[in-house]
Amino acid sequence: MKVINIEIEVPKYKNFVEVGILGDVHRGNRYFDQDLWDLYYEGTKGHEGFKTDKNMHIITTGDLMETAMKDSMGVQDQDEWIEDQILWLIEMLKPINEDGRLIAMIDGNHERRATRNWFRNTRLIAKMLDVPYHYGYLKVNIKLVKGDKTREYKIACHHGYGYARTVGGKMNAVMRMRDIVGDADAYVMGHLHDKFAKTGTINMGDEFVERLFGMTGAYLTYGGYSEDKLYSPPARGTLKLKLHFDIDRISGR
């Protein structure tokens, strides 16, 4: 497990900061949804995307690229050279990183496919962008600062694991993260192509506290390998966490 500590200044006109959990983009898959990506990344006339939203910080949780090897399951769905997937992702993350809003990057199981050939593409990108990288469980300690006041939150992040198909199974997968880190305010992962933010209660010894458990969605339409294996159509888009400054609370959408 890796722990990183960061400070984020809360804008004068805001009483919160948002953190986007960006994962399961699957660039390079022929079912990658460019229109959905543009909606979240570029935004619309009435909604700013995370490319330019100065109050939206990003943690990437893996499977940003398809990274299919010749013997990978679902390799038939890949339609772009892996180096082109890497170059595309660098260009997408550059504006966020230049604003100091790219917090960290984590590997996904798709990126780990390349490790069989002694290549770690997420680590390479993180190195090029000079942002923290980890292959597994990441804990991010965030201190919000506004004037002379501060508030602190802890977010536990992992790409995710398993083959759960039911809502309960997916929720259990996220909740198991607290077996490793017990004091986080939010636990988030991707991998299972669902999207939710739910609160749960943890016994901290002398008190019961509410924690947020979230899963970020995918940027895929339905078909190919997923349809062949009878996986459900993916819930889509990026999970967004709101770290409140005026009260001690994380909410998600």
pLDDT tens profile 108-123: 999 999 998 899 999 9
For the cut 90, the answer to whether the pLDDT of residue 61 exceeds it is: yes
Q: What pLDDT shows up at residue 24? A: 98
User: How many domains does the chain fold into?
Assistant: 1
Q: What pLDDT shows up at residue 201? A: 82
Q: Is 174 helix (H, G, I), strand (E, B) or coil?
A: helix
Provide the domain limits for residue 96.
Answer: 2-252
Beta strands at 102-106 and 133-134: parallel, antiparallel or unpaired? parallel
Give the CB-side neighbour count of residue 61, counting CA atoms within 13 A.
32
* Residue 117: CATH number of its domain: 3.60.21
Q: In what order do the strands lie in the sheet with 2-9?
A: 2-9, 138-146, 149-157, 186-189, 208-215, 196-203
pLDDT in tens, 1-12: 999 999 999 999
Measured distance CA(21)–CA(81) in Å, rounded: 25
For the cut 80, the answer to whether the pLDDT of residue 140 exceeds it is: yes
Contact 50, 58 (CB under 8 A): yes
pTM of the model: 0.96
Beta strands at 138-146 and 2-9: parallel, antiparallel or unpaired? parallel
- What integer best gives the mean pLDDT of the chain? 95
How large is the average pLDDT for residues 173-182? 94
pLDDT in tens, 76-106: 999 999 999 999 999 999 999 999 999 999 9
List the structure tokens of 6.
């960061």
For the cut 80, the answer to whether the pLDDT of residue 205 exceeds it is: no
Grade residue 250 by pLDDT with cuts at 50, 70 and 90.
very high
How many helices (DSSP H) and strands (DSSP E) are in the chain?
6, 14
